[in-house]
Structures are given as C-alpha cells and as structure tokens.
Copies of this chain bind each other. A is one copy, B any other.
C-alpha cells in the first residue's frame, strides 16, 4: 500500500484527536436507512481501527431525522470499547432525558452562528436557541457530562452570504459561557479558506477561547477541507472532526461532497508525523464495507485510491 513519506512540519501539534462523526453526521444525511446492527458494526469497526471519539447518534425527534430514530436501540446494543468515547447529539431537554436514561457520558448541542440557519434548522432565533441550550448544558454538566457545542455556518451562510468573524466570536463566547467544554467550528457549506480559518481562531483566542477548547469541522464542497485543517493545526487546534469515507454532507450545500473524509485527514497527518492512533488500512476497509451497504462509492480520495490495495 502506498504511504506518504513522514516529514514533520514545524509548529504543528504532535498528536491530533479525530472526532469521528460518520455514524451521526454522516449517516443522518444518507437517504438509505441503515439497519441498527449495521450501525453497531460500523461503530465497532471504527473503534477497532483506532478512533477514540465516535459520535454515535442523535436524540433529535425521530420525525426530523428518520435515519437516527433508532438511537435508544443503538446505544443499548453498543458494547463500549475501553478508552473510546461515544458522545451523542442532544437537541433539547427531552433529548437530554433520553441520553441520561441510557448512561451517556458526553453530549453535543448544535448551535448556529447565523440567524437564518438558526431559523431554518432550529426554528428559533440565535438568542432563543441559546436560551433553549442553557438548561440542557447546565443539567448535563451537573450530571458530570462533557458538553461540546457545535457552531454552524462559521465561514459563510447560504442565505446570508458573508458571516462576520465578530459575529461568530460573539456566539462562540456565549456557548462557552453557557458551560460548553469544547466548541466545534463548522464550515457547514464548505466555503472557508485557510486565512479565514486562522483569523477566526486568532480572534477567538483574543476573546478568551483558546485553541485547546476548539475543534474544526470542515466540509469539502469546494475542495478546501484539508488546506483549512492545516491552517487550523498551525493555529494550535488539535481536535479535528471527520467522517469515515466522507459519509454525509450538508443538505443545504449544492454539491454531493460533504464532510472531510477521515481517511484523507489520516493520510495527511501520517505524512506530517502527527499521531492519530488510527490504522488507515482498517479504516479504508471499514469505509469500503459501509459504501457497499449504502450502495454508493465513497467520495474520499484516499478510499478510492487505496480500494484495491487494502
């Protein structure tokens, strides 16, 4: 199997935590409903490939996301692997009740940096959504849970166009003040470029949100996800969201390409000598297996390039 030569780049973190979103963010945008036992096998295979944070599912209302209507069933069947974290998305108080009842140890909430996306995705203003999240985060933390805040549309919005950096910093600051341990900066429609990434991370740092509280969540709609990742690593971020095989995407983006593929990220980090703990060969095999289940080819460049070699 071809491998990149390992040549480190000064100034990068020595290791990166990959936050694997395939089972949740990836599958929720797939129209083929995947049986729960396939999902459990998918998650188990990801853990066996060395991923240490796997976002397992979401407690949104089943009518919003039919693909994830089996959240309880999935978590009941899942046998946690030692050392692996399985956060779940929780949209509101009711979702938190369901998560707590199943012994979930870590949740994520899903906020928006723009009013239009908040309205279209959450049916609320940004203020209203933060008020909705407030008791969720408080109760989660008092129950000892870790809380991640997703922040969508940080680099552009399909309805509003440009999104000012100050606006993103303002909403980010409020999510941190609510009690989020970590923020994931989402380029939901993939329009960001590396200078924008650096500038936002610097502005957040200046507002008291240090890079070690941040993750980045890039989409590859315009082919920019890995260059943006490099800029984020150079700016001190060491948690990167990715989706095995490039599963999923944003239904509001105009292209088939969605989440950064975990394999493409691991290839880059392997070349840079940045530790991830991931076995690329096992991961590619997993994505090929899932692509068969979904009946479509993986959009990941690395999965396609290595398909006959693993």
Contact surface of A with B, Cβ cutoff 8 Å: 2-5, 7-9, 12, 155-156, 158, 162-163, 165, 189-196, 198-199, 220-224, 226-227, 229-231, 253-257, 261, 264, 267-268, 270-273, 300-302, 304-306, 308-309
Q: How far is the CB of A150 from chain B (nearest CB, A)?
A: 20
Residues of B within 8 A of A193 (CB): 4-5, 7, 267-268, 270-272
* Cα separation A1 to B222 with both chains bound (whole Å): 13
Q: Which residues of B contact A306 (CB under 8 A)?
A: 254
Inter-subunit contact B223/A191 (CB<8 Å): no
Q: Is the CB–CB distance between A222 and B264 below 8 Å?
A: yes
Interchain CB contact (< 8 A) of A224 among B231, B254, B268, B309: B268
CA A146 – CA B275 in complex, angstroms? 44
Instruction: Count this chain's copies in the assembly.
Output: 2
Chain B residues with CB below 8 A from A300, complex form: 223
Closest residue on chain B to residue A273 by CB atoms: B195
Cα distance A127–B146 when bound, in Å? 61
Q: Are B221's CB and A301's CB within 8 A?
A: yes
Query: Complex Cα distance A155/B264, Å?
Result: 17
Q: How far is A230 from B228 in the complex, measured between Cα atoms in Å?
A: 9
Shortest distance from the beta carbon of A247 to any chain B beta carbon, whole Å: 15
Collect the chain B residues with CB atoms within 8 Å of residue A253's CB.
Answer: 305
From B4, B9, B158, B223, contact of A226 by CB (8 A): B223
Q: What residues on B are CB-neighbors of A195 within 8 Å?
A: 7-9, 12, 271-273
Within 8 Å by CB of A227, from B163, B190, B229, B304, lies B229
Instruction: Determine the chain B residues whose CB is within 8 A of the CB of A302 once the complex forms.
Output: 222-223
Q: Within 8 Å CB of A162, what residues of B?
A: 5
Report yes or no: A255 in contact with B301, Cβ–Cβ below 8 A: yes
The winner among A9, A199, A267 for most chain B CB atoms within 10 A is: A9
A196 and B221 CA atoms in complex are apart in Å by 26
What 9 A-B pairs are tightest by C-beta distance, nearest first?
A: A193-B271, A9-B195, A223-B301, A223-B264, A7-B196, A255-B305, A7-B195, A226-B227, A227-B227
Assembled-state Cα–Cα distance A301/B226 (Å)? 13
Partner of A4, one of B192, B198, B255: B192
